[in-house]
Amino acid sequence: MIKKKILIFIPILIIAIVLIFTWSDFIGGYYLARMKHYAGLVLFLIVSILFFIDSKIALVGTGIFLLCATINLIAITTAVSVFTINIFPLSFLPIQPLSFGILVIYLIANGSSLIDIYFNYKESKANKKNPPET
């Protein structure tokens, strides 16, 4: 259990370090924060609190947070830089590279735990529909 909490904590720690640098720039007056930055800070605080309450919810919440940051719904960096993938006339979602990198680290570190949570959820859902005979 301690190992799983450490694996969850690694992406949260990386995000915290990035947010500290980002908000020190905002407080120092070098940049102006936008709504995406405020949303990122508030959602990060929620995920951080969930880490101490329930690690499974924090694990899923961190993934949702990083997915939102990757597809540019929230911002964790001062300057929001994005890139898009264009295939002929089609343009896909804008992706923030730093958030995408943290998401990849998160998925590598916590992929097996996420799969376990998913299968436990499916199993409990199936048991509710068809309770085991005793």
The alpha-carbon radius of gyration of the chain (Å, integer) is 18
Residue 62 CB coordination number (10 Å):
24
Indicate whether 134 belongs to any domain: no
pLDDT of residue 111: 87
Number of compact structural domains in the chain:
1
Domain that holds residue 27: 2-129
Separation between Cα atoms, residue 61 and residue 23, nearest integer Å: 22
pLDDT of residue 1: 62
Indicate whether 43 belongs to any domain: yes
pLDDT of residue 69: 93
pTM attached to this predicted model? 0.84
pLDDT of residue 134: 59
pLDDT of residue 76: 92
Indicate whether 48 belongs to any domain: yes
Low-confidence ranges of the chain (pLDDT < 50): none
pLDDT of residue 49: 93
pLDDT of residue 27: 92
Separation between Cα atoms, residue 127 and residue 70, nearest integer Å: 35
